[in-house]
Amino acid sequence: MTVFRTILALSLFVNLAPLALAQPKPPVPKPTPTPTQSLSLSDMLENRLRGVVTVEVMDRSNNPRGFFGIGQNPAVKPKIDAFRKSVFLTDAESTGSGFVIRRNGELYIVTNCHVVEKANDESEEAIYVSSLTGERYRMKLVGADTIRDIAVLKFEDRPGKEFQELAFRSAGVRVGERVYALGTPLGKFPSSVTEGIVSGLNRQVNSTSSGYIQSSALLSPGNSGGPLIDARGAVVGVNTRSGGKSGNNQLSFSLHSTLAQRTVEEIIAQGRVRRGSLGLEITSASLLGKSAFVISSVLPGTPEPVRKRLEGNILTHVQGIRLSNSFELFAILDQIHPGEEVKLQVEDDKKQVQEVALRASELTDERLAELVRPYLKSLGIEASETTGKIQLKISEAPRGEAAFVVVSGGKSQPSERIPAQMVPVAAGWLDDDDDDHVLYPLQGLRSLHLIVRRMAVEGRLMLAADEGEKSVGVLGLQARVGIIPIQTVLH
C-alpha cells in the first residue's frame, strides 16, 4: 500500500468431589494421592479461577496512551475527530481478563496493556476488576509496556479474601504439553476455561516482540490478559491474542512466563521496563527474498577500534542467533538488559567474519534522542520543542518519500505541496490492512522519539497536525533507498 492509499484510509477474552455416602463397615480406604496428583484437574482449575478477574474499563479516552516501551506518557484529550478511528491490538474494547499475583506482601493484577490502554487517566473510576464471587474493586495503573503488551494494576482499596494468587512457572514449556486458558471471553462469560496443547514456541506475533507460546487453547475477545496455565496450575503465559488476520481461532498466543514475569517485576519495581542500548543504527533491506542488515552508524562514545569493526559492515548474528528479518532483530535486542555483554557477528565487504562484544548501556531518554535524531533527519525532519509544542522543519528527505493530505469532513485531499513547517499533535501509522498500529497523541519530544523508534522498524511514519476547523494535515513518510523500502532498528 502506497503512502497515499494508506493516508486515505484516515477518511474512515467447591470443590466438585461429592461427599462420600456412608459406607458399610469396614470403610473403604481413600486413595492416597501422589505428590503429582494431590488435586484433581477440576480441583486445580477451580482453585486457580479464584485468582482470575474480569478487567473493566469504565471511563475511556478516545486516544490510547503512548507507552512504547520506556514508560508512561500522560494521556491527551482528543482534539481531532479523525483520531476517533484509532485502534490498537484490540481483542477487547472495554473488558478483558487478568490474574492475581503477590509481590512484597501486596496483591497486584497482571493484564494486557491493550486492555487498559484507553482508560481515562483523569478519572479515578476508570478501571475496575471483578472477582470470581462478583466483588468489584477499583484499580490504579502501576505501569505498562506496549512492546510486550503487559500492564500491572494495583488495588485502590484492600482486596477481599476470596482471591487466590497465581505463580509464574520458571521452567520452559514443551510442544505437546497440556495447557488451559482462563478468562472472561466476550466480557460475558467469567471463569471460563479452554483446553489445548502447546503448538509452538518463541513465536513472533507483532512486529516488535517475540517469545510467545502458540497453543490450541481457544482464546476469544475478552480473554486478553488472562493466564495460560499448565496441568499443575502454574502460569506459563499471559494470553494476548488469537487468530491474527487469518481468522483462525486455533492460533492462540500467550507471552511466555519468563519474559512476562521479568516485565511484571520491572514494572512493579520502577513503573517501567529498563531496556538496554548498544548505540547502533541497523538498516535492513530485502533483495530477492533475502534481508541484509547493515550497521549504518554507531553512537559516539563507542571505542574507535570497535566502531571501525562495526560501522558499514553486515550484521549476521546476535548472541549466536542468525538474523532473518528486522522485526526479529528488534525483538532479540529488546530482551537485552542494561550492562549485559552482547556478542555480535559481522561480515565485511571481503566476506571476512569477526565477532565483536559490546556492553549495553541503558536506553535513557537522552540516549533515545541521540538514536532518533539522525534517523528523523534522514527522512527530512528536524524536530525541536518550544513551550511544550513540537516544531518540525521539513526538507527534502535524503532517503524516502513523503506525501501530504488534508482530511476534512471525512474527505482526504492530497496536496502537491509538502509544508516547510509543522506542529504535530499525533504520530504513528494508520492502515486499513493492519490492526496493530495507531496514531498516538504527542506531548513533547520524548513521546515523538518513542513513536519514531517503534515505527522505524516498519520503515514508515505519519505525523498529524491540527489545521483548524476540524481539519487534519497528515504527513506520510516512507523510508527508501531508490525504490527499495528499508527498515531501521535503532538500538
* Catalytic residue selected from 207, 215, 224, 378: 224
Q: One of 61, 86, 97, 114 is an active-site residue; which one? A: 114
Q: Which H or E run includes 484? A: strand 484-490
Amino acid letter for position 27: P
* Three-state DSSP class for residue 294: strand
β-pair partners for 342: 358
Burial of 366 (0-12, 13-18, 19+ CB in 10 A): exposed
Q: How far apart are CA 422 and CA 466, in angstroms?
A: 9
List beta partners, residue 180. 195, 229
* Chain centre to alpha carbon of residue 173: 22
Distance CA 118, CA 114 (A): 8
Catalytic residue status for 114: yes
Position 229: which residue type?
Answer: I
Cα(27)–Cα(403) distance, integer angstroms? 84
140 with 128: CB under 8 angstroms?
no
Q: Of the listed 91, 145, 149, 436, which one is catalytic?
A: 149
Half-sphere exposure of 147 (CA within 13 A, CB side): 28
**Is residue 224 among the annotated active site residues?**
yes
* C-beta atoms surrounding 263 within 10 Å: 25
Residues carrying an active site annotation: 114, 149, 224
